[in-house]
Amino acid sequence: MTKEELNPFKITQHQFDKVAKRLELKKGTHEYLRLPQRELTVNFPVKMDDGSIEVFTGYRVQHNNARGPYKGGIRYHPDVTLDEVRALSMLMTWKCALVGIPFGGAKGGVVCNPKKMSKEELERLTRRFVSEISIIIGPDRDIPAPDVYTDAQVMAWILDTYSMNKGYCVPGIVTGKPISIGGSLGRNEATGRGCMFSIIEALKHFDYKIIKEDKDNYRIDGATVAVQGFGNVGSVAAKLLFEKGAKIIAVSDSKGGILKKGKGGLDIDKLIEHKLETRSVSDFSGTTELKSKEILKVKCDILVPAALENQITGENADRIKAKIVAEGANGPTTPEADKILSERDIFVIPDVLANAGGVIVSYFEWVQSLQQLVWTERDVNERLKEIMQRSFRETIDAKGEYNTDMRTAAYMLAVERVSDAVTIRGIFP
Ligand code: NAD
């Protein structure tokens, strides 16, 4: 047996190639869309607290802007690679097209270990990185946002650095910023909330454990859930599913996992407090510890991988015991695993759909920033729900039309939209 391909860019290109072939894209369009339009690598010095200077490497990759300005998060992680950032930038292009918002795709990353850096060091790193990439970003060019180990504070530093260099405040330069400087209500929870909406749509589709409360509001009492990753996406998805009546039976983060079978499952509000206090979900009272990746094998109705890529692979896909996998993370499932899950009739809500809530509300935030408007949280959440429901329906319809799986269906819709935009704009000059 050959070794499974785990290079995220090769995986994303492979998924795209498959779809491009089915859509019979013209050779030139196919070749154009399988590569990013622009890639910037920067090596830059940062003064550390002890007076030494450390050199960091960062990337900003812009995949495609046929449908609108580039959009995508910035990740701080020791394992960031250029190929990872390329893959994530391409995913952003498809995601924005799938949910019908007028953005292209980009992504950024800095190779660093934020857990081992002080707040001051992180601020200096952020400000220098933004200055380095400021030649290609801008409120109508490329708009960053949070991703793994970056948060609203990091976005505030990005806004401030960019604005200082311009000489005036530019709130449209980032999304996911704090409310006090123009962030949108509902943005912090948007990815987890969107993920919850996509799960409810899937349960509705299967007529499964779903109770209609009133117009468009549903409860999923008793549905069992396991969540890998307890950060922005995982913890919010867990909390919102819990509020809808689901029983969250297992949760994990980078330090370990916990399992609670009995009545009611985990008390998510208390678990969030515990994580804030101890910086980990481990040692939460009344739970059994799980070893790394064991969470993926927990028997449940819904599994939400919400950590990093390549978690469900050819090695462990046959041991997944969930009925639905909702990809809160980007790229958590390899193509080999996809095949196994599909053969086993496990329904996958692909990343480009399940975690699109973040970029949808980022779009709302950007619109508010450009127009100096403030929408209510209810408005934001309702609009998010509408787009998630429509996108889910369109993907399910495409799945039926093309007789394929959810990921291929989502890619077919997205790639066709981007390719149409490329075609109608024509090739310059
Ligand atoms: P985060 O930094 O807030 O949280 C990441 C979580 O994953 C942490 O709890 C961390 O402990 C955990 N983790 C890391 N390695 C792990 C491992 N090996 N096993 C289990 N848990 C592990 O990041 P986030 O913003 O929640 O992003 C998570 C995923 O969601 C990423 O794939 C990201 O690209 C994707 N995503 C995020 C957003 C967003 O708005 N934040 C939007 C779309 C997609």
Structural domain contains residue 123: yes
pLDDT at 227: 98
17 belongs to a structural domain: no
pLDDT tens per residue across span 273-322: 999 999 999 999 999 999 878 999 999 999 999 999 999 999 999 999 99
Is residue 340 domain-resident?
yes
Q: What is the pLDDT of residue 146?
A: 96
Query: Does 386 map to a domain?
Result: no
- Give the residue numbers spanning the domain of 82: 36-169
Domain boundary among 354, 373, 407: 354
Q: Same domain for 338 and 255?
A: yes
Which uninterrupted H or E stretch holds 399? Answer: helix 377-402
Q: What is the pLDDT of residue 263?
A: 81
Task: Please report, as a single letter, which amino acid is at residue 39.
Answer: E
**262, 247 contact by CB (below 8 A):** no
Positive or negative torsion for Cα 69, 145, 85, 306: negative
CATH at residue 56:
3.40.50.10860
Q: What is the pLDDT of residue 1?
A: 47
324 and 195 part of one domain: yes
Task: Give mean pLDDT, residues 74-78.
Answer: 98
Residue spans of beta strands (DSSP E) within 301-417: 302-305, 324-326, 347-349
Q: Which tens digits make up the pLDDT trace of 45-73?
A: 999 999 999 999 999 999 999 999 999 99
The predicted pLDDT at position 216 comes to: 79
pLDDT per residue over 349-400, tens digit each? 999 999 999 999 999 999 999 999 999 999 999 999 999 999 999 999 999 9
Q: Are 392 and 201 in contact (CB under 8 A)?
A: yes
- Alpha-carbon distance 66 to 425, whole Å? 8
| Residue 315 shares a structural domain with residue 228 | yes
Nearest to 59, CA basis, from 144, 133, 6: 133
Residues 221 and 325 in one domain: yes
Evaluate if residue 213 carries a pLDDT over 90: no
C-alpha of residue 193 to centroid of ligand 1, in Å: 15
Residue 30 in domain? no
Residue 357 CB–ligand 1 contact under 6 Å = no
Mean pLDDT of 147-160: 97
Residues 17, 415: Cα–Cα separation, whole Å: 10
**Cα of 53 from ligand 1 centre, angstroms:** 29
Identify whether residues 290 and 162 lie together within a single domain: no
Indicate if 50 and 118 belong to the same structural domain.
yes
Looking at the fold, whether 77 and 113 belong to one and the same domain comes out as yes
| Residue among 12, 308, 351 whose CB has most ligand 1 atoms within 8 A, to mutate | 308
Pairwise CA distance, residues 148 & 150, whole Å: 6
As a whole number, mean pLDDT of residues 107-112 equals 98
Together in a domain, 159 and 200: no
Q: Which two tokens stand for residue 114?
A: 């934020």
- Measured in degrees and rounded to the nearest 5, phi and psi for residue 306 equal -135, 40
| Spatial distance between the Cα atoms of 89 and 94, rounded to a whole number of angstroms | 9
> Cα separation of 144 and 108, whole Å?
8
Residues 187-209, mean pLDDT to the nearest whole number: 94
Mean pLDDT of the chain: 96
Percent of the chain past pLDDT 90, that is, above it, reads 94
Which of 281, 355, 366 has most ligand 1 atoms within 8 Å of its beta carbon, as the pocket-test mutant?
A: 355
- 140 and 267 share one domain: no
| Mean predicted confidence (pLDDT) in 127-146 | 98
- Same domain, yes or no: 93 and 207: no
On whether residue 362 sits in a domain, the answer given is: no
Count up the domains in the chain and report the number: 2
- Say whether both 161 and 194 belong to one domain: no
C-beta 191 within 6 A of ligand 1: yes
Helix and strand numbers, DSSP H then E, in the chain: 13, 14
Query: Do 118 and 194 reside in the same domain of the chain?
Result: no
Domain final position from 354, 370, 400: 354
Instruction: Answer whether residue 126 is part of any domain.
Output: yes
Q: What CATH code is carried by the domain that includes residue 283?
A: 3.40.50.720
Q: What is the distance in A from the centroid of ligand 1 to the CA of 150?
A: 10
* Residues facing residue 74 across a β-bridge: 108, 146
**Is a pLDDT exceeding 70 seen at residue 28?**
yes
Q: Is residue 182 part of a domain?
A: no
- For the cut 80, the answer to whether the pLDDT of residue 2 exceeds it is no
Query: What pTM was computed for the model?
Result: 0.97
Rounded distance between C-alpha atoms, residue 354 and residue 252, angstroms: 19
241: its two tokens? 């599913």
The one-letter amino acid code at 260 reads K
End-of-domain residue from the set 105, 134, 169: 169
